[in-house]
Structure 1
Amino acid sequence: MNVLKEWTVGTHHFRREAPDLLWCTYKGPTRASDIERFVTVAREMAANDRVFVVSDIRLSTIEKDARELLSQSLRPEWLRGLVYVGADALQKAVVKAMMIALYFTGKCKVDIEFARSEEEARDIISRIRQAQSSPPDLSSSTSSGQSKNP
């Protein structure tokens, strides 16, 4: 882990890690003002290239207006992937509902993953990096774009 920059926003902590990771640790209620700062940090980081965002939400809640602001402000062109650490069943449902709504509006088509720990989140990011850098598997199609198997 190579920390390049850190921010403290209320009870929350954000850190930028090389090369393209924004790690967010939320503690306590997450308010719209916290999301405004997160969006500013994510936008600045993504100015050069898309980023992975890992949000450790084990010790947090998110207020309704903060959820709405997040869904309005998040831009898929900023993101390589989203990983939520420590989400309980309710938090997973809220995240999935937000992302489904964004997907259907065409605003967000980013893969979302859930992890139980920091180590698992880092493994997920490694797997996504590898998949995104691998060329697509064209073995199941012919040059005309049709499948070989009927």
Structure 2
Amino acid sequence: MNGMKEWTVGSHVFRREEPDLLWCTYKGPTRASDIERFVSIARDMAANDRVFVVSDIRLSTIEKDARELLSQSLRPEWLQGLVYVGADALQKAIVKAMMIALYFTGKCKVDIEFAQSEQEARDIILRRRQAQQGALDSAASAAAAKRM
């Protein structure tokens, strides 16, 4: 695969960045048809490994039916984490309510973070990757020690 691929869906842009990042820039209203395409892209990307999804929602709104479709369609096994960029207080409340509902139904147990800028989102992803690598390294060391 090449390093980057981009899809334009209405006024929104979805961009894959290697190795495991789906960057979503939403502009204007987000409809159910937009979410259908997002879900298709995320599912395809996650066919090989879990992905981080960053959603820049500074210039967008999401319609109720689109929120419901997202809640029904998102799969935790696809995701390493979600980062929302530029969420205002109402958007944060909507995202948290959606994820809490999914968490309690057992459908989604994924970490969600909020950032104010692209750089802050990239820093969060870097920190998460480093933590995951540290956990993998610790597990490998423990397994090696058991074999000795």
TM-score (norm 2): 0.89
Distance in 2, matches of 1:69 and 1:135, equals: 33
**5+ long unaligned stretches in structure 2:** 140-148
Q: How does 1:51-90 map to 2 (within 5 A)?
A: 51-90=51-90
Gapped regions of structure 1 (runs ≥ 5): 139-150
Using the alignment, how far apart are the partners of 1:111 and 1:134 within structure 2? 17
Aligned length in residues = 137
Q: Is the 8 A contact 1:3 1:15 kept in 2?
A: no
Query: CA RMSD, aligned part only?
Result: 1.5
Q: How much has 1:133 moved relative to structure 2?
A: 1.5
Q: Give the percent of matched residue pairs that are identical in Structure 1 and Structure 2.
A: 85
Deviations 1:43-80 (A, max 9, x none): 00000000000000000000000000000000000000
Query: What is the correspondence of 1:28-39 to structure 2 with a 5 Å cutoff?
Result: 28-39=28-39
Q: Is the 8 A contact 2:3 2:19 kept in 1?
A: no
Give the alignment of 1:2-17 within 5 angstroms: 3-17=3-17
Counterpart of 2:146 in structure 1 is none
Opposite residue 6 of structure 1, the aligned amino acid is: E
Could you list the structure 1 runs, at least 4 aligned residues long, displaced by more than 4 angstroms after superposition: none
Q: Is it true that 1:27 corresponds to 2:21 in the alignment?
A: no
Equivalent AA in structure 2 for residue 37 of structure 1 = R
Residues in 2 aligned to 1:105 and 1:132: alpha-carbon distance in whole angstroms: 26
SS of the residue 1:28 aligns to = strand
